[in-house]
Structure 1
Amino acid sequence: MPFFLLLIWPALALGEVPDSFMRLTEGDGAKPRALQVALAHYRDGRGRTLDLVGAVHVADRGYFEGLQDRFDNYDVVLYEMVGDPGGTGGPPASIGLNLVGLLQGGMKDALGLAFQLEEIDYDRRNFVHADMTPAEFSDSMKRREESWMGTFLQLWAVSSVTQDPAAQQAQLLKVMFARDRQMALKRMMAESLVDQAHVLEVLADEDGSVLITERNRKALSVLKRELDKGARDLALFYGAGHLPDFHRRLTAEYGFELERVEWLDAWSLSGK
């Protein structure tokens, strides 16, 4: 299974939409410097602001610390996580994604990274659950006649077209013989994430999917509810793979316009 399926500061010109909400930057000698995710700022005709905050679920601890500081300044932070919002505190339980969670947790150790659920405080007063419950997710899957296996195979088919087996083997050999294997592996994984970021777009096409489209619709229904209640400065904290569909819906259906985009360092790739 491709690793990118497990994860799924400079500003752009005013209103410029990025090709992807995730990118790799380079330093001296064209060496990778950082894996970055977008923070896109929107405003509607009534002056209300919304920030799309791209999430990488396994990242440097400093990335999560910076996000937590920002989150304290919003009226409302809408967050993703298929789970029960009526729990007794702490991050909501994930659905049947235990395997993915374990792999993400293991990856943080292999890459020297931190795990989102351990670093972000979901008990903050302004945090609002904006995702499906497990029952809603399951019912939506059944209604659309989708399955986890079907979704996986769909993504696998698209990703396999873009993969070069020889290049992948060369990258693995490079990692094995690197002086700093952890950094070499981290760079390889970052490149894979960026190269394959567009694959999730398959799940947000005209037909859509539960994993992206239906969950985004649920999140935006919660956004509307919070706007109707008077919130004026909001953040929507979701995996970076969800952001292109959010952008389309916010601008076409909700009257928001993109003002600018910041890029946040999620993984530092500096090293020998």
Structure 2
Amino acid sequence: MKSCVHVLTTICFWALTTATAIARPDGFARVVEDGTSIKLEMAVREYAPKEGNGPKIYLAAAVHIGEEDFYKQLQQFLDKQDIVLFEGVKPPGAGAAEHDAADRSDAQRIDVTKRRIRFIAMAIDRYRAEHKKLPTSFEQLEEGTKGRIATLLHGAHRDGWDRDLQLTTIEQEDGELGFDIVSLGADGQPGGEGPAADIRFRDQPALSKSERGDRSGGIQAKMAEATGLVFQLNAMHHDGPNWRNSDLSIDQVQERLDKSGADAGALFSMLDGSSFMSRIGSALLGFIGSNPEGKAMLRLMLIEMLGHAGELIKQAPGGMGKLMEVILEDRNQVVLADLKRIIETEKDIRTIGIIYGAGHLPGLEAGILALGYQPAGDTWFTAMRASAQDAGLTEARFKATRDMVSRMVEAQVKRAK
């Protein structure tokens, strides 16, 4: 049993970190227990100007898996604010120009083009795995792709010179049908040399195992099913007239990841929810989550993991660690720039909500304080809970299960130090 719990705590960690960096910031999350139940609560913190007038700011700590009521309450609260800034990597070319490299050279445009081509190639590979055929056009690829990746594909088929890429199918030596994605380079004409040379996917290295991704349906979906919880992207709506996407574009994230040496597959895993633990974890999660006691155990693990994620995040391997280093600080700067612009130029705005993954909040709070604000109170929402009654356990059995999970998580924390 202990070895099973150890494997599951590792799976829980990977399911959370591949969704986003969820390092627990002190003061934005708390665990509340009364002996027969335990719950994880997340804060919405209010900030007010130290001096003079200015809009109130509400910083909401998001976890990307939780109870449906948690997301309903957050939705209702945020919908009442004049403006809501939310996270969500934007499609290629949709990021604010101030976050782009200034006056891109042909060499930089070539790099942008290669990244877009590779991103599309990863999407095509997943399309082929699901539909057992290749798409015949970029439009068909978008229509047959689900979730965040479908949104990001819109606009991705333009190269660094803002010209259409070309998608072609080719017969390979083994008789199988393959594909190629082509840019005509700086001059927009076939052939050429230097910056004018065509840029082709087939001239790049084959997709790596991590870039090809998970084929089991996603560890996060299995986690939701096993715990009876839901995911933020499925439970909340971000298309209200007061909601503004405040984030980098996929181009801008990829550019920063390339500079850091992070694994390109890690970005795709963050977006589509895949991870290398999926094949083992999906079957085990299905087995454990098939009864009330198993669901309670999984929820206990999630609560404990979120309570220690700041330490556990250090266990992330090189590619994922670099990914999280880049996306936390750089994406925070986008939010703070948007926030400052609203305060300075939109004088009729009285309230601003911000909802971002909890790992972003320490940096965002520091930026808000630097703008001359101070905390003015917290409102707490229950993100998830587990109880002896729901699990069909006695108080003693529930406590013993909780203690066992706590010891396993603490052991991983010690290994991270």
Q: Is the 8 A contact 1:64 1:120 kept in 2?
A: yes
Tell whether 2:305 aligns with 1:187: no
Q: How does 1:29-108 map to 2 (within 5 A)?
A: 29=35, 31-44=36-49, 45=51, 46-84=53-91, 93=149, 102-108=218-224
Q: How many residues end up aligned between the 2 structures?
A: 230
Q: What TM-score do the two structures reach when normalised by structure 1? A: 0.73
Q: How far apart are 1:202 and its partner, in Å?
A: 11
In structure 2, what is the equivalent of residue 5 of structure 1? 17
Partners of 1:40 and 1:194 in 2: CA distance: 18
Q: CA deviation at 1:149?
A: 7.9
Which structure would you say has the larger Rg?
A: 2
**Contact kept in structure 2, 1:22 and 1:197, CA below 8 Å:** no
Give the letter for the 2:17 counterpart.
Answer: L
Letter in 2 for 1:42: Y
Distance, in Å, in 1 between the alignment partners of 2:264 and 2:244 is 30
Which structure has more relative contact order (CA 8 Å, sep 6+)? It is: 1
Q: Which runs of 4+ in 1 moved over 3 A?
A: 91-99, 148-152, 197-203
**Matched letter for residue 36 of structure 1:** E
TM-score (normalised: structure 2): 0.49
Secondary structure at 2:81 match in 1 = coil
Structure number with higher helix proportion:
2
Instruction: Indicate whether 1:119 and 2:235 are aligned.
Output: yes
CA distance in 2, matches of 1:224, 1:41: 16
Q: Which residue number corresponds to residue 147 of structure 1?
A: 262
Contact 1:38 1:53 in 2 (8 A): yes
Task: Classify 1:66/1:137 alpha carbon distance in 2 versus 1 (closer, same or farther; 3 Å).
Answer: same
Long gaps (5+) in structure 2: 1-9, 95-146, 153-210, 268-284, 317-323, 392-417
State the shift of 1:69 in Å. Answer: 0.8
Q: Distance in 2 between matches of 1:128 and 1:56?
A: 19
Q: 1:98 to 1:244 in 2, by over 3 A?
A: farther
State the alpha-carbon separation in 2 of the partners of residues 54 and 63 from structure 1. 11
Helix, strand or coil for the counterpart of 1:83?
A: coil
For 2:296, the aligned partner's letter is M
Shift of the 190–149 alpha-carbon distance from structure 1 to 2, 3 Å rule, reads farther
SS at match of 1:222: helix
| Percent identity between the two aligned chains | 27
What CA distance in whole angstroms lies between the structure 2 residues aligned with 1:5 and 1:108?
15
Query: Which whole-Å CA distance do the structure 2 matches of 1:264 and 1:97 have between them?
Result: 37
Contact 2:299 2:385 in 1 (8 A): no
Superposed CA deviations along residues 43-77 of structure 1, whole A, max 9, x for unmatched, are: 12324210110111111000011111112210111
CA contact (8 A) 1:20 1:197 kept: no
- CA gap of 1:97–1:38, structure 2 versus 1, over 3 A, is farther
**Equivalents in 2 of 1:198, 1:21: separation in Å?**
16
Deviation at 1:118, TM superposition (A): 1.1
Partner of 1:197: 310
* Structure 1 residue ranges without an equivalent (≥5): 9-17, 153-171
